[in-house]
Chains A and B, each alone.
Chain A
Amino acid sequence: MSSSRFRFPRVTMPDAARALRQEVREFLAAERASGGFVPMADCWASGFSAEFSRKLGQRGWLGMTWPRQYGGHERSFLERYVVTEEMLAAGAPVMAHWIADRQSGTQMLRHASAEVKNRALPRMAAGQTFCAIGMSEPNTGSDLASVRTRADKVAGGWKVNGRKIWSTGAHGEGCDYMISLVRTAPADEKARHQGLSQLIIDLKAPGVTVRGIEDIGGQVHFNETLFEDVFVPESHLLGKEGHGWSLVVGELALERSGPERFLSSFIALREAMQVLAANPDDRTREVLGHLVARIKTLRRMSLGIAGLLQEGKSPETEAALVKDMATRFERELIEQLRVVLPEAVLLSSSGVLPRLMREAILRVPSSTLRGGTNEVLKGMIVRQLGLR
């Protein structure tokens, strides 16, 4: 009788990662003290600062696992994990580079032409150029294989027509590339995953229009991108033509496995503790105990995925399982805090904690949507369990 279907190995940070953590903490403390940033909830999807990203690039904290040849730093997955989790825990404005560093750069490293790698990756690692995701479309969300954006073969490349949507940061300063999932061959209902390719689209190319979309809080973090006869050169194809589906599955694994899935609003808990410590009753103690127990367990599981990646495994189902559980926790975290915080905090909009609470409450619906809805993730889990 198998007592555990999914394995999350124990991870111990190597000396280099521990030293790095100290360095990152000192940097973040100095930046916050000097007004280099104000902490934000959901900072990886709403805290845009090209300047801050460049500072991280200068310190060698972007493209950390990439080869030196492409501006990377050849550090371990665990060292990268340390930097990302420290940024999140501090609520630092890391949105600008997040997509490039988390998935687009790695995806290019694995599958792009030498020309693209030489041109784009060093600038990404320096925090000088950013990326957006090009998966969803107005009529394509969870059913990703139904994308309709077309790439028609022309001399020297493709002509692309269509729309991508919800591409966080595509409108931002310095956001130059979008890895887009497009149809390079007509859809065949019997083989829906064929005829798809991933193209790197230059967002500054003629025919590209990026229009920001306001979210429920009135903020513009995502957008719609229109492609009208956009020329994409052959060198901007990832992998082989028609192999886009397996590529996008690999990209989604990068997108789903990180600590941002449970730490988006950690900064609100950290700030709330200052208030809650003043007069803690049993209910407050209980809530804090529950929240910390959940965070510690999720971190163990999330790090286990980093450990499996470091072992060279492809823990896609484990990543889906942790993302499902972690994003549901993000919702609970903010609800649990809400019921123990004083009314004065909840009814006010001034001060760090009231602002963080409002940001977190208004951002949290996206937690269980972005990167694959929880319903899609559960489908992946049960497929692994043999039920689909």
Chain B
Amino acid sequence: MSETDSHTLDTVILDTATRLFADLSTSETINAAEKGEWPSALWQAIEASGLHLTWVPEECGGAGAGMLDGFAVLKAAGAAALPVPLAETLLAGWLLAQAGLEVPEGPLTIARGEHRITNGAVTGVALAVPHARSARQIVALARDGARVLVVAVPASACVLTPDRNLAGEPWDSVDFNGAMATLSAAAPAGLDADSLDAMGALVRVNQAAGALGTALELAIQYAGEREQFGRPIGKFQAIQHMIADLAGEAAAVNAAADAAAEAVAATGTVDADAWVEIATAKVRLGQAASVGPAIAHQVHGAMGFTYEHRLHHFTRRAWAWRDEFGNETVWARRLGDAVLGWGADQLWHRITAVTDK
């Protein structure tokens, strides 16, 4: 009842990812990555396992695994604060595959928005492109007159202005500056900058759900170990209740992430129903990623405020991801608009429709 065939998870993929991340996404690696050192061993292991091709069908050179496998991998990636563009490579692979393009080698990333392409030359500027400096190719949507194309441009041919997000990860500005696309094909109907943003938002929700899960585990562990006034601080009701709230926020964002992932997996695209689920999940993340890290830090005291402690690997990422691809204000207004469009009489019908297909 709770799972249908199209929603079956391949536990082998998730197990592989979880083990690989636990072994190679260590605190040292994450800190070194923030200092600018590319974690080549980690990325090579990911490529060797094929995890980066989870969302690419076999005919586009991919693994042909399910959408849900990819979302599960993203949660695991967030839970491990993975310091490489696996999420971006998955998203870029999905976008290329939507246009039937074969996915090129190496780490990839996504530039948001709609750019321009004229005789193969791409122009436009995108801000905060994740891991742009580490990516082999930057994948984007570009308009050629009335046509919208999916394009890939070598990162080395673009003008990058380095910047970083709250988690200290590369978040560079990209000026395509007339660079020639190495790949281009028409985007399918319905795929536009908005649906790409929605897919990006869902990627971030899943990563953040993982990160908040780890922040919860760290808080539980610390509260059980740290002693004050002669007992572990987790024995104090004030601390217990904060951790219960953190557990609730983590559970809620996980549930919202799953609902949206399932809606996308049902068609492999962002249709109108999936869009509502994604909007819901990104709004819910906005709350969880504000309340949750605040609690995790409060529980950890000054210790968790140090760079040395690894809590910030997860809290800073959650803070970065809640704002990316539209924060909760942006998505709540969009969702509110949709809700007004349903009208009072259809409100409840639309809420129940998700389980009644």
A359 interface residue (CB < 8 Å to B): no
Q: Name the segment of A128-136, A226-234, A277-285 touching the other chain.
A: A277-285
Contact B247 A6 (CB under 8 A): yes
B216 interface residue (CB < 8 Å to A): yes
Contact B2 A5 (CB under 8 A): no
Contact A387 B235 (CB under 8 A): yes
Contact B18 A304 (CB under 8 A): no
A4 interface residue (CB < 8 Å to B): yes
Q: Which of A18, A269, A324 contacts B347 (CB 8 A)?
A: A269
A35 interface residue (CB < 8 Å to B): no
With both chains docked as a complex, state the minimum distance between the C-beta of B24 and any C-beta of chain A, in angstroms: 13
Q: Name the segment of B35-43, B111-119, B184-192, B333-341 touching the other chain.
A: B333-341
With contacts A2-B217, A12-B357, A385-B243 known, is A289 near B279, CB below 8 A?
yes
With both chains docked as a complex, state the minimum distance between the C-beta of B79 and any C-beta of chain A, in angstroms: 4
Q: How far is the CA of A21 from the CA of B354 in the complex (A)?
A: 13
With contacts A286-B336, A378-B244 known, is A5 near B262, CB below 8 A?
no
Contact A4 B251 (CB under 8 A): yes
Contact A387 B220 (CB under 8 A): yes
In chain B, what residue has the closest Cβ to A10? B2
Q: Which of A12, A274, A377 contacts B344 (CB 8 A)?
A: A274
Main secondary structure of the interface of A (DSSP, over half): helix
Which B residues touch A274, using CB under 8 A? 344
With both chains docked as a complex, state the minimum distance between the C-beta of B78 and any C-beta of chain A, in angstroms: 8
Question: How many chain B residues have a CB neighbour from A under 8 Å?
Answer: 69
User: Which has the most chain B C-beta neighbours within 10 Å: A89, A293, A307?
Assistant: A293
Q: Name the segment of A45-53, A102-110, A161-169, A294-302 touching the other chain.
A: A294-302
A-B contact pairs, 26 of them (CB 8 A): A1-B22, A5-B247, A10-B3, A10-B262, A12-B1, A12-B355, A18-B356, A21-B352, A270-B347, A273-B344, A289-B279, A289-B331, A289-B335, A290-B332, A292-B335, A295-B351, A297-B284, A300-B255, A377-B244, A379-B244, A381-B248, A382-B240, A382-B247, A387-B223, A387-B224, A387-B240
5 tightest A-B contacts by CB? A289-B332, A285-B336, A289-B335, A289-B336, A3-B213
Contacts beyond the supplied A3-B214, A293-B279: 11 A-B pairs with Cβ under 8 Å? A1-B213, A3-B75, A3-B254, A5-B250, A266-B348, A280-B340, A289-B279, A289-B336, A297-B256, A307-B2, A382-B244
